[in-house]
Amino acid sequence: MENVLDIIDALAHEKGLSPDNVKVALKNAFIKTAQRLIDEDFVFDAEIDEESKSIRVYQTITVVDDEDDDQLYTEEGDVNQGFIALSRAREEVDPDVDIGDEFQIEHDIESHGRTAAMTLYREIEYHVQRLVEDELYSKYKEKIGTIVNGRVTRVDDKNTTYIEMDEVRAVLPMKSRIKGEVFVVGDVVRAVVRRVNIDKVNGIQIELSRTSPKFLESLLALEVPEIGEGVVLIEKAARIPGERAKIALISTHPQVDPVGATVGVKGVRINAVSDELLGENIDCIEYTTVPELFIARVMSPAIINAVTIEGEADSEENPLKAIVTLPSDQKSKAIGKSGINIRLASMLTGYNIELVEQDGGDAVEGSSKVEEKKDDISSLEALFG
């Protein structure tokens, strides 16, 4: 085939691919076509002539010892077409060949007529498409945990939202939508890339999320210059999507207040993020490596008298316990509506928090004894699903 280099340049330009990668894809297409047309057991290779802009396909055969049955025959006992016995090679090819020498038999794909042209076209289309998907996979794999924008193209009967993003379509499952959120065709949606998969049957699959803590972190990085520039760091984040979130912040500059910078003047910055999250309340806490002090801060708006760490963590399922002592009139604030405050505090700190009233009232554990409303279950499933 002539003008192969022109075809490569055209495909690379049209698909936004590297010319070198397109060359490899085109060679593979020719090799696969030769195997389909001639013999699948043959060892083929392809080579592009830069001067003539043409491509040649050839079969490579290696000379081996007459007694080397492992190379001459397959495990099924069939003749291995990639090797030839020394005696046969000297008789049929060249009397001067030796063991380890290779020789090539060129095959003209075009001589197979219309069938070859159709097969080659399908193979080129397949290999270029795989190359496009591989490039997209690498591109979006690097975007996991970052925000992307897209337009809604379809919402199915399961409320799965399909979003067109430049050259690919992504999926926003209902479990990854904020509770109460409704999208219609044409809406522009922001979400974070949660997962990227690729397979031969379905191609590239991109799953988005608006319930992940990473979405909150990415929105803050866009809205708060100090976070975007790395002056303020988000140490940890926990969310019950659409209801409430807590973020732990730390400043890398002694003159920058991490909480004040994130909230903004009159709350303008944090309110902009909250609006994107359907009014989700966001508590900003200054992070500290002192666990007792950090837990006391995270329990805000409750006023805490003391925090005591007990036991040893066996696993993530059995974390350390923090005994939080507080006045009885602060207990409802510490627990929060439907237990949201204490659950978020446990999620953010990694401690199983137990509340003890100062006057000796009953203890309340952060993750097991707080009664939950049924409506909150979907929010938790969205967070961990």
pLDDT tens digits, one per residue of 165-191: 988 899 999 999 998 899 999 999 999
Exposure of 321 in the CB half-sphere (CA atoms within 13 A):
13
When mean pLDDT is compared over 213-217, 358-362, 375-379, the highest value belongs to 213-217
DSSP conformation letters of 66-82 = TT-HHHHB-TTS-B-TT
pLDDT tens track for 257-270: 999 999 999 999 99
* Sequence-ordered list of residues with C-beta below 8 angstroms from that of 259, at least 6 positions apart, any chain: 249, 284, 285, 286
Beta pairing class for 352-357 and 321-326: parallel
Helix (H) / strand (E) element for 44: namely strand 44-49
pLDDT for res 60: 80
pLDDT for res 120: 86
CATH of domain 211-287: 3.30.300.20
pLDDT over threshold 70, residue 371: no
Cβ(190)–Cβ(147) below 8 Å:
yes
pLDDT for res 46: 87
Length of the chain: 385
**What is the percentage of the chain residues whose pLDDT exceeds 70?**
89
pLDDT tens track for 54-97: 888 887 888 888 788 777 777 777 767 678 788 887 877 778 88
Over residues 31-59, mean pLDDT: 82
Do 292-385 and 211-287 fall under one CATH topology? yes
Amino acid identity of residue 106, one-letter, is: E
> How sure is the predictor about 221, in pLDDT bands with cuts at 50, 70 and 90?
very high
Q: What is the average pLDDT value for the chain, to the nearest integer?
A: 85
> How sure is the predictor about 110, in pLDDT bands with cuts at 50, 70 and 90?
confident
> How sure is the predictor about 313, in pLDDT bands with cuts at 50, 70 and 90?
low
pLDDT over threshold 70, residue 367: no
pLDDT over threshold 60, residue 365: no
Over residues 8-20, mean pLDDT: 83
Rg (CA), the chain: 32
pLDDT over threshold 50, residue 32: yes
Amino acid identity of residue 379, one-letter, is: S
Closest CA to 319 of 367, 276, 364: 367
User: Exposed, middle or buried: residue 218 (CB in 10 Å: 0-12, 13-18, 19+)?
Assistant: buried
> How sure is the predictor about 372, in pLDDT bands with cuts at 50, 70 and 90?
very low
Beta pairing class for 54-64 and 83-85: parallel
Question: Which residue carries 């042209």 as its tokens?
Answer: 117
Q: Which fold has domain 4-140?
A: N Utilization Substance Protein A; Chain:P; domain 4 (3.30.1480)
Q: Which residue has the higher pLDDT, 71 or 2?
A: 71
Q: Is the peptide bond before 301 cis (omega within 30 degrees of 0)?
A: yes
Cβ(372)–Cβ(340) below 8 Å:
no
Q: Which fold has domain 150-208?
A: OB fold (Dihydrolipoamide Acetyltransferase, E2P) (2.40.50)
Indicate the domain borders of the chain: 4-140, 150-208, 211-287, 292-385
Q: Which residue has the higher pLDDT, 267 or 35?
A: 267
Over residues 113-141, mean pLDDT: 88
CATH of domain 292-385: 3.30.300.20
pLDDT for res 85: 83
Q: How far is CA 335 from the centre of its chain?
A: 35
Give the C-alpha separation, 25 to 204, whole Å: 18
pLDDT for res 315: 53
Over residues 209-232, mean pLDDT: 95
pLDDT for res 364: 52
